[in-house]
Structure formats: C-alpha cells, structure tokens
Amino acid sequence: MILGISIVIFVLVEGILIFSIIRYRERPGMPNPFQNHGNLKLELVWTVIPTLVLFVILFFTIRGLLYVAPENEPAASASQPRMEVTAVGHQWWWEFYYPNYHVTTADTLEVPVNTTVHVKLFSNNVIHSFWVPALTGKTDVVPGHDNTKWFVAQKEGTYTGICAEYCGTQHANMRFNVKVVNNNDFQTWVSSQQQAATAPTDPLAQKGAALFKNQCASCHGIVGVNLKQFYDTAQECSDLPGGKANGTPQCLIGPNLTHFGSRNLIAGGVLDNNTENGNCDPNNPKLTQQCNLAKWLKDPQGVKPGNDMNIGELTNDQIQQLVAYLEGLK
C-alpha cells in the first residue's frame, strides 16, 4: 500500500517537475518569472496534503506492526505440543541443547512440525542474535541476560538461520539450519542422539578414535569417550550455581561431537558435511575439495580465520583416520 502511494506521488511530482523544466526553461530575452513567495494559500496546500498522506501511511504502518507483533506463547495442547531448547551462541557457532531429552548438537536445530519451540538464548561471551528469517524474528543473545523466544514451524523443511548481531571476525559465518521434521522422525532422531557414541570397529577409525582422545578431547566432547553424559552447556559454561558444581565436566570450547556423522553442517554452518559424496583422501588435494571435513582438519584457520580451532598441522594419514572415525559417529 505504501509503495503504491509512493509510486503515485513520485510519478506526479517528477512528471510536473520534468514538464516544468522543459516547458518553462529559460529562453533568450525572457522576463523574470512570476514571484509567488509568501503565497499563504499555496503554502497551506503543500503542507496539508503531505501531512494527510503521512497520516494515511501511519495508519498502514501501525496496522502492519500489529500484524507482525508476537502473540503470547500458546499453551501446550494435543495438536500443538511445546518443547524447550537452549541455543548457545559461541564465537562463532551455535550449540543446541534439549533439556527434556538431554541431547546436545551443533549447527542444526532439529524440531518437530507444529510444535511450539521455546528457545532459551544463552551466551557466555559476546552478544549474538538468533535469527531464522522464515520462522521468527531476531532476538539478541546477551551474556548475563537470558532472553527467550518461541516459534512454531508449520511446514517441514530446512530453514536458514544466522547470527544477526556483529560478534567478531566470523560473525557472517555464524550460521545454522532449522530442520523441521514430522513427529515420528523427530522421536527417532532424539532416540539415536541420546545414545553414547559407539566404539569403531574399522581399524582406520580406531586409529582416529585414539587420536581424538589424545589431541581433540580437551576441546571437544564425545559421550562414551571423554564425557559421561550430555549436559546443559548453558549451565555448564556459566558461573551459575549448580553449573560446574554438579559433577559435570568442565565447559568444553568446541562442539560436542557424539553424533558428528549424522550432521549436515560442520564448522559453524559454513561447510556441508559432504563426506559421503566425496572421496576423503587428503593426499589428493583435488579430492579434499569434495570432502569438507578433511578440508577443515587440514586448515581450519584457512576455512574460517580467527576461529578457536588452533591445532598443529595434522598429517594426511591422521586426517584420514579422524575422518573415518568422526564420520562413523552416526
């Protein structure tokens, strides 16, 4: 409506302007044009008309604001149940913890369709902003001030989310997906995510598991390896009472990798977890391009400069072992 009004005014004003410029342009020997300074009638007209137009626009603006304003969170019902998720903003990736199910994941928030998803927003570092344009507006994630928001996804599918508050060099690469699935698929997913990681049987993957314990386990957690259970990252990473005190492990800086192989995104949402389609032989640089995990392990700072993964250079054999292990963690 506002666009329509603006187009009419634009065409009218510019039309008269262009007409006047051409029709009344200066020609040699012309007298001074008629002076209308101080004409009360004219000045009233060009004040009152724009004022009226602005009031019309104000009406439509207020109507639009009321239309998009959030309603109160609906109570849980049989047709629209409610679930809770804690979204933790890290520099620069999103971690998701499901307090009702004790599941921790990263980069993809999986939720059932037609369910009120109540999101607790948590940061222990800088201010981020949780935004999934197709599902819900922005809400800041402020350290020491725990915001919440809620949304309902009415259609299955994958929706892109991003961080919408400048939070450091990789702010633009702090992405995530919201994957909306039907209720059965969600329950299946939850049950599989609740399991501890299975020990690998493949010799290459076994080497990778040993390497993980040696070199990765001080920043990353795997339930069944260096973690006893999934824990509430938000509580754990804060200095809130009951966080570190209740015997859960110290806050880990990197994502929980327990079911890494089941994820679609890695590295804070900047890379697809595309190992299955590609060949992960790091000795072949061309093929590494088709295997994002190998690419990431080879040079995490090259993929995402400034991120917390500052590791020594891994050999191609080590990369291959880690890829075999981590991608096997379904």
Among 120, 128, 149, 220, binds ligand CUA (CB under 6 A): 128
- 88 lies in the site for ligand CUA, by CB under 6 A: no
Structure-block tokens of residue 11: 């065409």
CB-based contact 270:236 (threshold 8 Å): no
CB-based contact 194:101 (threshold 8 Å): yes
- 327 lies in the site for ligand CUA, by CB under 6 A: no
- 106 lies in the site for ligand CUA, by CB under 6 A: no
CB of residue 268 to ligand CUA, shortest distance in Å? 9
Phi, psi of 145 (to 5 degrees): -140, 100
- 163 lies in the site for ligand CUA, by CB under 6 A: yes
Strands, E assignment, the chain: 82-90, 93-98, 103-106, 108-112, 116-123, 128-132, 136-141, 148-152, 157-163, 175-181, 265-266, 271-272
CB-based contact 325:212 (threshold 8 Å): yes
Among 171, 215, 240, 243, binds ligand CUA (CB under 6 A): 171
CB of residue 191 to ligand CUA, shortest distance in Å? 31
Footprint (CB under 6 A) of ligand CUA, residues 51-70: none
Among 107, 110, 165, 232, binds ligand CUA (CB under 6 A): 165
Of 142 and 251, CB closest to ligand CUA: 142
Map residues 240-279 to x or -, x wherever contact with ligand CUA holds by CB under 6 A.
Answer: ----------------------------------------
Would you call 163 helix, strand, or coil by DSSP? Answer: strand
User: In angstroms, rounded to a whole number, what is the distance separating the alpha carbons of residues 154 and 78?
Assistant: 15
